[in-house]
């Protein structure tokens, strides 16, 4: 029987509620990033570059845009006759059908899909992170250790450790303890939510986990601790490099800004590890006489007449005369008319800022309540919004 050594499953069902209005209409993995990408381009491109050509994408919330974005998988070279990319939403089965209850349940519900490829190893990924990683190296490490499970981990600052799954290992990197989001972390080795399992072993544990009515069917909370308790061979794979959770408005803004550093943590210009994305079919960008652009990224289809400083400008964006854009992220097809000032803002797709508007310049006046989603002065404007001419939108405001 034809088989695949290793297939990947991307958990792309997260609601991303901390991204506020950005995930009102799209799933978190479909949120725009870095001018011409979406978050899911990173795990998908990592798979392609790691020679993993069979990828299941598990979707749940607001799947329409994500589904149409991924399509046949052609931009990632994942349009294959055996393998390729598959979109796996929850579905009705003969007896009943349910939403994905947890990360482990999502995989459980797709066991038939995995079985189709009869793999030796299954790679579980999340669709929420910005990073470049060679999964093939991690699978090799898994095979060398004859491991049942391998968890990729990264050192995080101690004060953030309690947000992650934290592990302790012995000298051979075999995991001895694992705590999901501990109050008092014993280490700062955090799980990145990237796992390799022996498929036979994982299958057994998924079935067992599903039979346990008390389980919340989650990898970090249930499956991993149970396997460890049973003495399975579990190893930690140390990842060194840029890895960013873009789960909040601030972290999404920060990750975009980090691309503009002189030596960015994430080098998008590396020809040996390209990040692929669906092409927007736009002409080259045009920079007019009188435009001033510094420390910024500009992509195809944009037309710039104004001043752009330290900002990420996506495809098809138009920036008018005498307009100043600073420390901001403009999503595709945003239009900013003449004489505007925009500071530290994220502006959603196709929104229009009419002339003489000021965004993110003034502090809030007393009595105004800042958005729960925004912090550090960031203004968040949703997609398809029209900001009337002469508007003044204060810092920490979310417009939907």
Chain residues binding another protein by CB under 8 A are: 34-36, 74-75, 260, 262, 268-269, 274-277, 279, 281-300, 308, 312-313
Q: What whole-number distance in Å separates Cα of residue 237 and Cα of residue 245?
A: 18
Sheet strand arrangement including 329-330 = 312-313, 329-330, 345-347, 379-381, 398-399
What are the tokens at 268?
């998008």
C-beta of 182 vs 264, nearer to another protein: 264
Q: How many CA atoms lie within 13 A of 33 on its CB side?
A: 33
- State the minimum distance, in angstroms, from the CB of residue 47 to another protein: 15
C-beta of 91 vs 269, nearer to another protein: 269
C-beta of 16 vs 75, nearer to another protein: 75
- State the minimum distance, in angstroms, from the CB of residue 54 to another protein: 21
For residue 399, the SS3 value is strand
Measure CA 362 to chain center: 31
320 in Cβ contact with 339 (< 8 Å): yes
Residues in a beta bridge with 196: 123, 150
- State the minimum distance, in angstroms, from the CB of residue 393 to another protein: 26
C-beta of 49 vs 110, nearer to another protein: 49
What are the tokens at 358?
């000021």
C-beta of 232 vs 285, nearer to another protein: 285
- State the minimum distance, in angstroms, from the CB of residue 300 to another protein: 6
- State the minimum distance, in angstroms, from the CB of residue 381 to another protein: 21
C-beta of 119 vs 316, nearer to another protein: 316
Backbone angles phi, psi at 173, to 5 degrees: 75, 10
CB proximity list for 326: less than 8 A, separation 6 or greater: 309, 310, 311, 342, 343, 344
- State the minimum distance, in angstroms, from the CB of residue 49 to another protein: 11
C-beta of 36 vs 395, nearer to another protein: 36
Q: What angle do CA 26, 258, 316 make, to 5 degrees?
A: 50
C-beta of 75 vs 377, nearer to another protein: 75
- State the minimum distance, in angstroms, from the CB of residue 178 to another protein: 37
Please report the sign of the dihedral spanned by the C-alpha atoms of residue 378, residue 61, residue 75, residue 198.
Answer: positive
Q: What distances in angstroms separate CA 207 from CA 123, 211, 217, 247, 254, one per listed residue? A: 18, 6, 10, 30, 40
- State the minimum distance, in angstroms, from the CB of residue 292 to another protein: 8
41 in Cβ contact with 266 (< 8 Å): no
What are the tokens at 46?
């990592």
């Amino acid at each position: 029987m034809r088989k695949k050594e290793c297939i990947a499953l991307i958990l792309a069902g997260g609601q991303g509620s901390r991204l506020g209005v950005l995930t009102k209409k799209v799933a978190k993995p479909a949120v725009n990033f870095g001018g011409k990408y979406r978050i899911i381009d990173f795990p998908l491109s990592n798979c392609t570059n790691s020679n993993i050509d069979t990828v299941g994408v598990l979707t749940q919330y607001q799947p329409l845009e994500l589904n149409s974005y991924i399509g046949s998988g052609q931009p990632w070279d994942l349009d294959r006759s055996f393998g390729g990319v598959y979109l796996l939403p929850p579905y009705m089965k003969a007896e009943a059908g349910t939403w994905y209850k947890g990360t482990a349940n999502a995989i459980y519900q797709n066991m038939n899909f995995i079985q189709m490829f009869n793999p030796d190893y299954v790679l579980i990924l999340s669709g929420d992170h910005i990073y470049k990683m060679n999964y093939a190296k991690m699978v090799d490490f898994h095979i060398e250790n004859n491991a049942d499970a391998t968890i990729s981990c990264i050192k995080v600052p101690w004060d953030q450790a309690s947000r992650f799954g934290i592990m302790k290992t012995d000298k051979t990197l075999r995991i001895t303890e694992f705590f999901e989001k501990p109050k008092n972390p014993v280490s700062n080795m955090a799980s990145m939510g990237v796992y390799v399992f022996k498929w036979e072993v994982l299958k057994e544990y998924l079935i067992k986990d599903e039979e346990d009515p008390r389980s919340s069917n989650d990898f970090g909370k249930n499956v991993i601790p149970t396997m460890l308790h049973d003495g399975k061979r579990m190893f930690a794979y140390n990842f060194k490099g840029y890895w960013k959770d873009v789960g909040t408005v601030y972290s999404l803004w920060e990750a975009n800004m980090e691309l503009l550093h002189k030596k960015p943590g994430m080098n998008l210009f590396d020809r040996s590890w390209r990040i692929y994305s669906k092409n927007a079919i736009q002409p080259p960008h045009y920079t007019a006489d009188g435009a001033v652009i510094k420390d910024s990224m500009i992509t195809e289809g944009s037309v710039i007449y104004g001043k752009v400083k330290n900002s990420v400008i996506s495809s098809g964006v138009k920036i008018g005369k005498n307009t100043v854009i600073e420390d901001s992220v403009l999503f595709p097809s945003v239009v900013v008319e003449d004489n505007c000032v925009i500071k530290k803002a994220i502006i959603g797709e196709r929104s229009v800022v009419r002339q003489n508007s000021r965004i993110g310049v003034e502090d809030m006046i007393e009595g105004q309540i800042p958005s729960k989603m925004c912090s550090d002065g960031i203004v968040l404007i949703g997609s398809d919004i029209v900001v009337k001419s002469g508007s003044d939108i204060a810092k920490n405001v979310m417009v939907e």
